[in-house]
Amino acid sequence: MEAVDALEHKLSSYLDPSQVRKVLKAYEFANRSHEGQERQSGDPYITHPIAVAHILADMHMDHESLMAALLHDVIEDTPATKSQLSWRFGKTVSTMVDAVSKLTEIEFSSKAEQQAESFQKMTLAMARDIRIVLVKLADRLHNMRTLGVLAPEKRRRIARETLEIYAPIAQRLGMNDMRVEFEDLGFAALYPLRYRRLREAMKASRGNRKELVDEIKTMIEERIDSENIESAVMGREKHLWSIYQKMKSKRKSFRQIMDVYAFRILVTSVDDCYRVLGIVHNLYKPVPGEFKDYIAIPKANGYQSLHTVLLGMHGVPIEVQIRTEEMDAMANYGIAAHWLYKSGQTDEANHARATRWVRGLLDLQQQAGNSLEFIEHVKTDLFPDEVYVFTPKGQIIELPSGATAVDFAYAVHTQVGNRCVACQINGQLASLSQSLESGDKVRIITTKNAQPNPAWLNFVITAKARSAIRHFLKHQQHEESVDLGKRLLDRALHSFGSSYKQIRKSQIKKLLMETGAPTFESVLEQIGLGSRVAYAVANLLVPENKRVKPQDAARGNSPILIDSSDGLIISYAKCCHPIPGDHIMGHISPGRGLVVHQESCKNLDDIRLNPEKCIPLNWSPTVEGEFTADVKVEVAAERGIIAILASRVTEQNAPIEQIRLNERDAHTNIVALTVKVKNRIHLANIMRRIRTLKPVQKVYRVKN
């Protein structure tokens, strides 16, 4: 009863009496529903929902959130239903309670999948109503505070999940106080011995530091007071988990990390923030490159503050954060400060920023293949050190440190990323893989028919770019392999006197039963990828008694047309480098799809006689792209001949991929060139240009 009275007193300070009554009504219902139930500690179960409501009341959350907090376990642990709650407390509250329950109730085959799935559901819940997640975070916080009664194994599992998922979400929503508590409670449960040692070391160092902290604080206060600025200066202690992480990642000793003194200065206006910055820079020397202005450009989670590092007396480093009281509330409560400071504009912007992040997560979710892939993407996004770059129109785009122009393109819009071919950074043409720096102005050059390059996955770092590229490539590969599968199956069916267009539903049904494949499309995809043989599938589709001799024997061998150099499931054999104009043949290679060879290639000898494996091909009249060709040039040994050869080739708009020089004897060298050409005519023009050079004795194309 004391806890309920305290809650009522807390709520009366900021809610209307009618809203407080609604919250108390929810408490009475929860109390009746949970009657006789106990927590593992032996306390009545109702103590948990009350504690969760207290956490939210400290953030000044609205009455609906508090009602949901008190009722959050009712659907899961008692006979009460969602429709009962809806009838008693309204649709909004019942939906929130249902969503919070759903975030915990599913069992999965693996712990990783369970975490991933619950995170995925949390994202959907956030998109519907961000308050659902605040209730869930408060629920987890109270569970962490009372973790001691659980078995060690369960304790460690919950602690790890909290550190990996809940703490980063709290950070991303700007809720620093909650994040710090999550991290320290998680640290204590996961590594109890290390936690105790660090805590003792921290206590011991506090005594030695007190004098110096007081001295620095007094000097800062006196200097600010002399300028008649209202302020509060406080020493800031690093929390244990962040000290432990720094010791681990930077390989520093406890003493090295504790040698830094940190202070926070709170003032009343943004104007005063910059004035105080000038005052502390006059008082102590600032360290170059360590000043960060998060007021002009807030962090992705809405955090605003000025950060600077100073060198105090005896060369002691002093970290200073300067912000207004409202910014401090935003830093501590994050998205929940929206309810604390309803009047201000800053929290509206922060609310929008958090909601934008959630919307971004939803896009990722739709593109990811499964929940594990989704969480792998999201984890890369949860701990960003941001860089801020500008679009040509001056709009600011926030990206994690190390992001490239391709990450920027996808941050602007998925279609901009998919069609990106080049970029300008600060007006200069630059590589797409170049890391961006804060302040860069980036312009993306796009073309209509461009598509993502699989090599981009080696350097992009944002989750959005990575998942969009993978999604596009998966989709593209699927479409290409289904299309090739259709054409291969059509050829195979023709040898039995049938065709793709003549397949009936009953035949497909029978095929799926015999192969165990989920859909006919998946069978076509497997044929295109080379995982299934087209003749074997045709054999199942057309029983022996229904086969007829094909009237048009030639059609069974009609060639498949090749129309591009850059398909995902059509590759060109490196042994003979076929180019448009060559007579070509292909074979299906498991996992690689169709491999194109020159018809005369020696490597086709083994499969040439097997019509199931060897496929006649033709170039499409509209074929386009760049194809690799190998050329050898015998030249008299002269200085500068390589440069002359290279310029002759590039004059013909043919990029050179590789040049190798071999000495045949004292007078003759053999130069091996690997060039990109459009077709045989293009290659013939290049060879003709090379032949006109005086030192050249012989030019020929290497075919095998």
Residues 632 and 390: their CA atoms lie apart, in Å, by 48
In the CATH hierarchy, which fold is given to the domain comprising 2-190? Answer: Hypothetical protein af1432 (1.10.3210)
> Strand pairing of 560-564 and 614-624?
parallel
3-state secondary structure of 413: coil
Run of H or E residues at 292 = strand 292-293
With beta carbons less than 8 A apart as the criterion, state whether 384 and 393 touch: no
Interatomic CA distance for residues 662 and 609, integer angstroms:
38
- Measured at the CA of 559, the angle between CA 556 and CA 562, to 5 degrees, comes to 150
* Residue linked to tokens 């539903």: 505
Three-state SS at 341: coil
Query: Is residue 1 helix, strand or coil?
Result: coil
From 76, 164, 177, 599, active-site residue: 76
Q: Please state, in angstroms and rounded to a whole number, the distance separating the CA atoms of residues 442 and 425.
A: 5
Q: Which of 77, 437, 566, 657 is catalytic?
A: 77
d(CA 469, CA 475): 10
372 token code pair: 């594990």
Annotation marks residue 77 as catalytic: yes
Distance separating alpha carbons of residues 296 and 672, to the nearest angstrom = 57
**What CA–CA distance (Å, rounded) separates 25 from 33?**
12
668-677/627-636 β-pairing? antiparallel
Helices assigned H by DSSP within 34-164: 47-58, 63-71, 74-77, 82-89, 91-102, 111-128, 130-145, 152-161
Number of other CB atoms surrounding residue 323 within 10 Å: 24
Q: Check residue 683 and give its pLDDT.
A: 94
**Mean pLDDT for back-to-back runs of 10 residues, the chain (704 residues):** 85 89 93 89 90 89 90 86 88 85 51 58 64 87 90 89 82 81 93 91 77 86 91 84 86 78 91 93 88 83 85 83 87 63 48 59 58 55 65 80 92 91 89 85 88 87 86 82 83 79 83 84 82 78 70 57 75 89 86 83 80 79 88 88 88 88 83 91 93 90 83
Residue 592: how many other CB atoms lie within 10 Å: 13
Whole-angstrom distance, CA of residue 35 vs CA of residue 276: 56
Is 335 within 8 Å of 358 (Cβ atoms)? no
- From the list 376, 386, 379, the residue with the least C-alpha distance to 408 is 386
Contact 263, 220 (CB under 8 A): yes
Q: Over the range 388-420, which residues count as b (16 or more CB within 10 Å of their CB) and which as e?
A: bbbeeeeeebbbbeebbbbbbbbbeebeebbbb
- Give me the architecture of the 627-702 domain, per CATH: 2-Layer Sandwich (3.30)
Is residue 585 within 8 Å of residue 559, measured between CB atoms? no
The answer to whether 591 and 529 have CB atoms below 8 angstroms apart is: yes
Contact 473, 568 (CB under 8 A): yes
Q: What's the CA gap between 119 and 130, in Å, rounded? A: 14
- pLDDT at position 106 is 38
Q: Are 466 and 515 in contact (CB under 8 A)?
A: no
Q: Is the pTM of this model over 0.75?
A: no
Class of domain 199-341: alpha beta
Distances (CA, A) of 179 to 137, 289, 298: 10, 28, 19
The residues pairing with 310 across neighbouring beta strands, listed in sequence order, are 286, 318
**H/E segment holding residue 618:** strand 614-624
Quick one: pLDDT at residue 213? Answer: 84
Dist CA 640 CA 644 (whole Å)? 6
Two structure tokens written together for 474:
């998966």
Q: Are 346 and 291 in contact (CB under 8 A)?
A: no
Strands 560-564 and 442-446: unpaired
Question: Is position 184 annotated as part of the catalytic site?
Answer: no
- Collapsing DSSP to helix, strand or coil, 659 comes out as strand
What CATH class has 351-466?
alpha beta
> Could you tell me which of 546, 377, 365, 350 has the C-alpha nearest to residue 461?
377
What residue spans define the domains of the chain?
2-190, 199-341, 351-466, 467-558, 627-702
d(CA 405, CA 268): 39
Q: State the DSSP string of 177-236.
A: HHHHHHHHHHHHHH-HHHHHHHHHHHHHHHHHHHHHHHHHHHHHHHHHHHTT--EEEEEE
Residues 6 or more apart from 683 whose CB is under 8 A from it? 579, 629, 631, 675, 677, 701
